[in-house]
Structure 1
Amino acid sequence: MKTHSTNYFNTFIETAPDTKVVKGTVPPPKGNKTIAERQYELIASAPYQYTSDDIIFQVYAERKDLMPDEYPAARTVFFSRGQACLRASPLAKNYGYGIHSNSEGKVALYGMETDEYQKFVKDDNTKKVQAMKSSK
């Protein structure tokens, strides 16, 4: 079974060009946890601890109420099909966060107002990609 990955390496996902915010904003609670809330909690609480694949699968597993012992088999099936990468994350599209993937593919968030965000944008040794636009 072919495995698809969403991981980037030495790459910075810049905020979407049509984002309406001017700084990194914590996704507000809305009853049931949104994808944005779940992604934010995972990445912000443990910068450079998880890969994009880890984040995307964990959010999927939580939303499907999977038990931890179901994770290995479910992850294999989940990544047997292509999945949207963090360029489609609401954090980069709507909440003003750039997402940096280091040389190991581990990710961290940087608000667009921060010096670190600007450093990644200007760094010629880091590949840059933009988050997907929120609207067409």
Structure 2
Amino acid sequence: MKLHTTNYKNTFIETSEDIPVSKAEIPPVKHNRTLANIQFAMITEHPYKFTSDDVMFECYAEKNDISLKDRADARRDFFSKGQACFRSSALAKRYGYGIHHNSEGKVAIFPMEGEDYKNLVNDDAVTKVKAMRNKRK
């Protein structure tokens, strides 16, 4: 069975062109954690520890109450189909965070108004892609 991936290497996902904020915001916590809450917590608490695949699967596992003993099989099933990558994440589309994938594919996030964000945008050694737009043109 072919396994798909959401991982990038040496890539920075910039905020979407039509982002509704001018400064990064922490995703608000509601009754149940949203995908943005899970992603934000994992990445800010452990920058460059997880790959995109790790984060995306953890979101799926938490939302679907997958037990620890069932996760290996569930992960294989999850990645047997193509999955949305961080270009479609609310962190980059709504909340104002750029997502950097280092040379190992591990991720960290940076607020759009920050110096690190600007440095990554201007770094020629890093591939840049924009997050997906919120609305069609």
Deviation at 1:118, TM superposition (A): 0.2
* 1:15 correspondence with 2:15: yes
Aligned to 2:6: 6
C-alpha separation in 1, matches of 2:2 and 2:23: 39
Residue pairs, 1:1-80, within 5 angstroms: 1-80=1-80
Corresponding residue SS for 2:129:
strand
Q: Deviations over 1:76-118 (max 9, x none)?
A: 0000000000000000000000000000000000000000000
Which amino acid counterpart does residue 8 of structure 2 have in structure 1? Y
Q: Which amino acid aligns with 2:12?
A: F
Partner of 1:87: 87
RMSD, aligned CA: 0.5
Unaligned runs of 5+ in 1: none
- Give the TM-score taking structure 2 as reference length: 0.98
5+ long unaligned stretches in structure 2: none
Shift of the alpha carbon at 1:29? 1.1
Identify the range of structure 1 (89-98 vs 15-24) with the bigger mean alpha-carbon deviation: 15-24
Separation in 2 of the partners of 1:81 and 1:32? 26
Instruction: Number of aligned residue pairs: give it.
Output: 136
Tell me the secondary structure at the aligned position of residue 109 of structure 1: strand
Other-structure match for 1:97? 97
Q: Which runs of 4+ in 1 moved over 4 A?
A: none
> Structure 2 matches for 1:117-128, cutoff 5 A?
117-128=117-128
* Whole-Å separation in 2 of the counterparts to 1:15 and 1:94: 8
> What TM-score, normalized to structure 1?
0.99
